[in-house]
Amino acid sequence: MSNGPVQFAIDFSQVTAGLTRLAQKADVAKAQAALRVAYEIIRLSAFEVPHDKGDLQNSATVQVISGEIVLGYHKPYAARLHENPQYRFQKGRKGRYLIDPIINNAGALGMKMGEGFQEELGI
How does DSSP assign 44-110, residue by residue?
A: HHTTTS--SSSTTGGG-EEEEETTEEEEE--STTHHHHHH-TTS--STT--SSTTHHHHHHTHHHHH
Band of residue 121 on the pLDDT scale cut at 50, 70, 90: confident
What are phi and psi for residue 68, nearest 5 degrees? -105, 145
Length of the chain equals 123
> What is the spatial distance between Cα 89 and Cα 82, in angstroms, rounded to a whole number?
11
pLDDT of residue 91: 87
pLDDT of residue 37: 97
pLDDT of residue 1: 63
How far is C-alpha 63 from the geometric centre of its chain's CA atoms?
Answer: 11
pLDDT digits (tens, 9 = 90+) for 71-107: 999 999 999 999 987 888 988 899 999 999 999 999 9
- What is the pLDDT averaged over residues 7-19? 88
Band of residue 2 on the pLDDT scale cut at 50, 70, 90: low
Instruction: Name the more confident of 86 and 56.
Output: 56
